[in-house]
Amino acid sequence: MNRLENLADLRQRWYAAYFAADLVFLQATELPDFTYLSDQGIETTDRRYSHIAERVANGVWFASAAYRQELSVSYRDHSECCYVTGTARIVAAPGVEHTRCFSELWLSNKQNWQILSLHASVLPSG
């Protein structure tokens, strides 16, 4: 696999880890200063992990059938970093879904990729 194929594979595993609340994988893949910006605000790494753990403990995390399907994606490789943009459909449960526009910034240290930031916005339906 080339480096962008490796990144594409890692991205799929990273999103699956998020839906599975796999904090070990998320922490290994996200840089310590990872930031997530969404319609709900800015979430830093520490708050992100505690938020996921709280929701899992309270039984309000994603159902096991939840998944993310990319509708479009593009990669802009700049050697040390790659900017990934596109749209994806999130299916949280049967009949509960929305489409998001996203942008991700991934950094490479020549051996592996780690994500520095994710920005995702829900697209209005209609």
Domain ranges of the chain: 3-121
From 1.10.10.10, 3.40.50.12160, 1.10.10.60, 3.10.450.50, which CATH number describes the 3-121 domain?
3.10.450.50
Which pLDDT value is given to residue 6?
A: 94
Cα 111 from chain centroid (whole Å)? 20
Picking from 61, 40, 38, 39, the residue whose alpha carbon sits closest to that of residue 49 is 61
CA distance 11 to 67: 13
Q: Which two tokens stand for residue 59?
A: 């039984």
Q: Which two tokens stand for residue 69?
A: 């399907």
User: Are the CB atoms for 71 and 3 separated by under 8 Å?
Assistant: no
pTM of the model: 0.91
* pLDDT per residue rounded down to tens, the chain (126 residues): 788 999 999 999 999 999 999 999 999 999 999 999 998 899 988 889 999 999 999 998 988 888 899 999 999 999 899 999 999 999 988 888 899 999 999 999 877 999 999 999 999 876
Task: Compute the chain's Rg from CA coordinates.
Answer: 14
Which pLDDT value is given to residue 12?
A: 96
